[in-house]
Chains A and B, each alone.
Chain A
């Protein structure tokens, strides 16, 4: 198993923490993992991205040029990375903010209005990233829901553990929506 994932979006949408959660969840399952951010001269409101590898083998280069999964939360990220996805790979996109149709025909695409769903169903737009991460868990299955939740417990400081149920609900919602779509 080798999952090479690029996660991208606006700064503040939670792509970096989503990536760290995935890596931590992989570690929970005793897999080799790496996480590396883009660290260019980023500007406020600009795009941020990180690369996550989850593997049965040692990770060679953590920098990913051809992801087998791309998770994008905004339009510039889709435009930037769509062409790099490996044929047969997955594209998960936040259709609340992306009004563009993916051009690739040789990949699997899952569109989910995660920002709208987060606001409407959970009354908190900030867990949009967790909804799309839930969809990832369901569609690709590289890590389990329980591992992600365990990772959350480690990543969130204790005084923020009151947010765990909300995040879990968001993950489950993503899983449900992906199940329905399949």
Chain B
């Protein structure tokens, strides 16, 4: 199959169907509406179910139920809607159920705006809801990558019995780009899930729950979850671009990384030794790859559409060995190559090293 021009949200919807997703529960919010719009039409064609719930809270609890019965299930939303879903996401993580949650980020806090942002980074990578838990967080930068990561998201969710978040933004949702979809395999069977509540005839009942009133039992459960999050480390992924000799490394994910990549080429054309590190998994954070990409860097700059969220993880994962600076725009504004180049030039012209700019 050749390349087609598709809107990010629609491509994501189609990729979910091709990954075996048959259930979607959601509630409308800009800029992700084309996902439910697309799946409302598409899922019935493959024997699936689409429900526009009465609220985000209802939608995520429908996801909880469907995931408990072993289905491949997905929901999507943006900023405020994802906040409403946090209680359910915590329950799903606590009950160890697989599902995929898409967040096409917009500016916040509160209702914020509807233009693209990356301001839900902390919420995505630090848990988001209550209790000690983590999501696996995937951050595509192109529509092709969004499509490619969809199948992986469902596979990882099943493998770890953990919710997986695809963290996009308004740009990736709204834009059209050339994409090649994976082939549609109607004979595809999702992995068997012996823990699922599928009717207990002839076997002992499976129980799906996140309530542990005995603190010793809950501690055991928490430690088991921690162990699982440790295991996830091997799933970390990142992309390096021209970092081999880079004295200055830009770090950014998603849409911001696209702009940063153009900056690397423009900077190189001016004789600046610039490179890019782009985390593809935000949790687990690709620590080793980041360190390797930055091993000879004198400065690191995070390029983000948030007010210094990614920078905290970059500093922490670089173990504070390299000065890390911030360059970003917020509120729905996109950093320009000009902004970032100005920041780079200010840093490279700097006399004293390690000085904060």
Instruction: Give residues in A with beta carbon < 8 Å to B.
Output: 20, 23-24, 27, 32-37, 39-41, 57-63, 65
Contact = CB atoms under 8 A, between A and B. Distances in A.
Contacts of B5: 20, 23-24, 27, 33, 35
Contacts of A34: 175-177
B174 A37 contact: yes
Contact of A39 (B30, B177, B261, B336): B30
A39 B114 contact: yes
Contacts of B261: 58, 60
Contacts of B258: 58-61
B178 A27 contact: yes
Interface of B: 3, 5, 30-31, 114-116, 170-171, 174-178, 255, 258-259, 261-262, 265, 334, 336-337
B340 to A, nearest CB: 10
Contacts of A57: 265
B176 A63 contact: no
Contacts of B174: 36-37, 39
A57 B262 CA distance: 9
Nearest to A32: B178
A35 B255 CA distance: 14
B342 to A, nearest CB: 15
A88 to B, nearest CB: 18
A108 to B, nearest CB: 23
A58 B337 CA distance: 14
A20 B176 contact: yes
Given A60-B261, A61-B259, A63-B171, A23 B31 contact: no
Contacts of B175: 34-36, 62
B262 A27 contact: no
Nearest to A35: B176
B41 to A, nearest CB: 15
A62 B173 CA distance: 12
Nearest to B113: A40
Contacts of A63: 116, 171, 334
Contacts of B178: 27, 32-33
Contacts of B177: 33-35, 59, 62
Contacts of A58: 258, 261-262
Nearest to A24: B5
17 contacts: A20-B176, A23-B5, A24-B5, A27-B3, A27-B178, A32-B178, A33-B177, A40-B114, A41-B114, A58-B261, A60-B262, A61-B171, A61-B255, A61-B334, A62-B171, A63-B334, A65-B336
B253 to A, nearest CB: 14
6 nearest A-B pairs in the assembled complex, by CB-CB distance = A60-B262, A35-B176, A36-B175, A62-B175, A60-B258, A61-B259
